[in-house]
Amino acid sequence: MRPLLLALLIAAPVPLTLAQEKTLINEDDTWNLYTRLDLKYSDLGADSGLIGGVQVGGLLNNRLGIGVAAYGLLEDLNTAPAGYKNIEAFDLIYGGAMTEYRLLTDRVFHLSIGLFAGIGRLKLDRPGSGGQDEIRFDVVEPQANVLLHITPTIDLGVGIGYRWLGLRRDLPGDDNDPFDSVVTTFFLRFTEF
């Protein structure tokens, strides 16, 4: 009886070790690095302008992207919110975290949905006094994209989203959401496999 009991005690953990654990990320999952170059076009106040940016991050199983991004205004704008002079290039910069989920990645054309959330600053010149105000803000930008596989490691994409920019203090005048806008994005993504 004792040898049978001893054998049962030794063999009892075997089924537990053979069972595979269910986890979000498994050993056979693959992580790849990616770099994405963005060119955004949107309304900024009463004018429209180009914003350039870069994203870097990791891509899990060629589907889930997690990374960081930074953006800056690329050109001078002809108008500014009431009470301020024109906005010059790089007077608007912001950065933060980016997440994206890609669908139908085995097709030449595929889709993705993403979300950017971050913080930034806006510098505005005051007329007459020559002074400058620096306004901090929070930004959230969801986006939907269509991508084209050019090569296994290069994608060309176009996206549409909406930028909500929460200024941390009010601007002069009635319009305190002058930078909330629809955003069109053109981008190239380079993935390291």
Q: CA 108, 111, 115 angle in degrees (round to 5)? A: 145
pLDDT tens digits, 57-80? 999 988 899 999 999 999 888 767
- pTM assigned to the model: 0.79
pLDDT score, position 22: 61
Domains and CATH numbers, the chain: 32-186 (2.40.160.20)
* Closest CA relative to residue 190, chosen from 56, 96, 98, 95: 56
Distance separating alpha carbons of residues 102 and 34, to the nearest angstrom: 13
pLDDT score, position 144: 97
Q: What is the mean pLDDT of each run of 10 residues along the chain (193 residues)?
A: 55 53 66 94 86 94 93 84 74 94 91 96 77 87 96 94 85 66 95 77
pLDDT score, position 74: 92
Can you tell me whether residue 17 is helix, strand or coil? Answer: helix
pLDDT tens digits, 82-92? 667 777 777 88
Distance separating alpha carbons of residues 161 and 118, to the nearest angstrom: 15
Can you tell me whether residue 84 is helix, strand or coil? Answer: coil
